[in-house]
Homo-oligomer: A and B are copies of this chain.
Amino acid sequence: MSVREIIERHPRPISADHDLLLRCIEECFDCSATCTACADACLGEPGVSELVRCVRLCSDCADVCHTVGRVVTRQTEVDTGVVRAALEACVAACRASGDECERHAPHHDHCRVCAETCRRCEQACSELLASM
């Protein structure tokens, strides 16, 4: 993703660990897109009524990851309290969505992919949080 190239050219000094920050940004945006796609794939399944909770949690996770991806991307006038609370919300959303997708992974391959993506994002946010 070319967002990485902008972060490397940012005019303000970046206090966060570069590798953890970039990984978190990329996982947040990837997870947002993947959860959007998984919610839609669930909606397109013949057995959608079994997947209602999955659609709901993936929709939340798509929204939360997108917003947190933006908050973490911005490096001008960082407010640590806001970043920290945003990352914690992302961990909660990824965990709930990852748990639910994991339940459907044996039956729906898109849920298996989405569960793995949510786990990676949850971990990237947790690691950035721990480093702050």
Q: Mark A5-16, 1 if CB is under 8 A from B, else 0.
A: 111011110000
A-side interface mostly? helix
Those of A76-130 within 8 Å (CB) of chain B: 76-77, 79, 81-82, 84-86, 88-89, 91-93, 95-96, 108-110, 113-114, 116-117
Separation in Å of the A47 CB from the closest CB of chain B? 9
Check A82–B66 contact: CB distance below 8 A: no
Given A64-B67, A114-B6, answer yes or no on A86-B93 (Cβ-Cβ < 8 Å).
Answer: yes
- 4 tightest CB-CB pairs across the interface, nearest first? A44-B76, A85-B92, A6-B37, A3-B33
Can you pick out 28 interface pairs between chain A and chain B where the beta carbons lie within 8 Å of each other?
A1-B33, A2-B33, A2-B34, A6-B34, A9-B110, A10-B41, A10-B44, A12-B44, A29-B33, A33-B73, A37-B73, A37-B74, A40-B74, A43-B52, A44-B75, A49-B49, A56-B76, A59-B74, A60-B71, A60-B74, A60-B79, A60-B82, A62-B70, A66-B67, A79-B96, A81-B95, A82-B96, A89-B89
